[in-house]
A and B are shown apart, each in its own frame.
Chain A
Amino acid sequence: MKIIVPLENKSLDAPVCPSFGRTPLFVLFDTEKETEEFLNNEAAASQGGAGIKAAQMLVDNGAKAVITYRLGENAAQVLNAANIEIYKAQDGTVKDNIEKFKEGKLSLLTEIHPGFHNHGGGGK
């Protein structure tokens, strides 16, 4: 299956990027074939809604799971609508996180923060 992780340079030894929507790169890792493909995150250049655009790209690339430190609610909505599982990244490299994922040692990400460019809903 294909899992996606945000990272800052093209190496599995890089740490997981703290940002999802504005990460410069994603790695698309196929757990069956043990292959990786690096994807440029064009959403990073967006004025706003970067999380949404990044999530759309992940969906279009056939991701089934994502490992990330944080996720905004808009991006989460997109991923949830596509039934993509969202796992919380742990300290360590992308490689470490992928290994932990395979061993079932990662937990699901439960704290979804409100969108950073535009908050959801009207408020008061």
Chain B
Amino acid sequence: MRIAVLSGKGGTGKTFVSVNLACAAEKAVYVDCDVEEPNGHLFLKPCITECTSVKVIVPKVDPAKCIGCRTCVGFCKYNALAYIKDRVMIFNELCHSCNGCILLCPQKALKQTEREIGLIEEGSSDNVSVLTGKLNTGEVSGVPIIKGLMKKLPSHGTTIIDCPPGSACVVMESIRKADFCVLVAEPTLFGEHNLSMVYDLVKLFDKPFGVVLNKCLEEENPSEQFCKKNNINILTKIPFDENLGKLNSEGLIVVREIKSYHELFRKLLEVI
């Protein structure tokens, strides 16, 4: 079963919930799709067995064939091409790899070539296989890396997908193959506001889902109220616990340290 863990807001505890769910299972695969700031590996500390480069396609010009018609420059929606002093200039970082200029050049003077934008690391940590996507700094889009990660998802067994925050295209890519979505919310107005955004997202994709309320205090919980108002299934509530915070800040995995939390996450997995 593939479980995606997401939240509209950053810092609510997606990685906390994902890592602990993966560790509470007998055997699981943990996939870190937060490629701009992957954090799961900091807790799981996997032994890396394989590292794959993620590449995208960019054009390369053969100056001998180019006649300066500028079809490529005029076509590119991303302004990745310029034509100066009888020479085509290519700006790789702006290229979205649509292949258009290559297809449309009447002289076939443009060819495909590859460029690395990030990596996928594979490894394991006890009972958990770990897949981590990392985007190189300065690159704009992690979508190709997430697509690469999705290709490596096992067809059976428990897979936990740790998604990026927000609800932009990178998040959509991450939940595409999920069977179930866990929405993590914190008990503040910010949390509720952003919960409603991912709520819309999972409804759009028609994914079965439930909410985990994290860092719960005794006071009123706007996120809880949101769930009640919209008849959303609350899977479990994790109380605000300073102890948890301390362990987390050290990079320790709670279910591997505290038995009661192991129970909590095991139950959560069963419920899902």
* Contact surface of A with B, Cβ cutoff 8 Å: 43, 46-50, 52-53, 55-56, 59, 74, 77-78, 81-83, 114-115, 117-124
Contacts and interface: CB of A to CB of B under 8 A. Distances in A.
B83 interface: yes
B82 A56 contact: yes
Interface stretch (B87-95, B150-158, B165-173): B87-95
B191 to A, nearest CB: 31
**Interface residues on chain B, size class:** 20 to 34
A120 B77 contact: no
Nearest to A52: B79
B71 to A, nearest CB: 14
B78 A49 contact: yes
B79 A123 contact: no
B140 A52 contact: no
A24 B139 CA distance: 27
A114 B91 CA distance: 13
A74 B115 CA distance: 18
Contacts, number: 73
Contacts of A119: 93, 137-139
B74 to A, nearest CB: 10
Given A43-B79, A52-B82, A74 B94 contact: yes
Contact of A56 (B83, B87, B93, B116): B83
B136 A48 contact: no
Interface in B95-147: 115-117, 136-140
A49 B94 CA distance: 7
B84 A82 contact: yes
B51 to A, nearest CB: 14
A25 to B, nearest CB: 18
A56 B84 contact: yes
Contacts of A121: 93, 138
B85 A49 contact: no
B235 interface: no
B79 A118 contact: no
A123 B136 contact: yes
A50 B140 CA distance: 15
Contact of A122 (B84, B87, B117): B117
Contacts of B61: none
Contacts of A50: 79
Nearest to B118: A122
A21 to B, nearest CB: 9
Given A82-B85, A122-B116, A74 B137 contact: no
A53 B138 contact: no
B268 interface: no
A121 B139 CA distance: 8
A48 B85 contact: no
Residue with the greatest number of chain B CB neighbours at <10 A, chosen from A49, A74, A115, A123: A49
A48 B138 contact: no
A47 B77 contact: yes
A115 B95 CA distance: 13
Given A47-B77, A81-B85, A124-B136, 19 more contacts: A46-B79, A48-B78, A49-B79, A49-B94, A52-B94, A53-B79, A56-B82, A77-B91, A78-B89, A81-B84, A82-B84, A82-B85, A114-B138, A118-B139, A120-B138, A122-B115, A122-B116, A123-B136, A123-B137
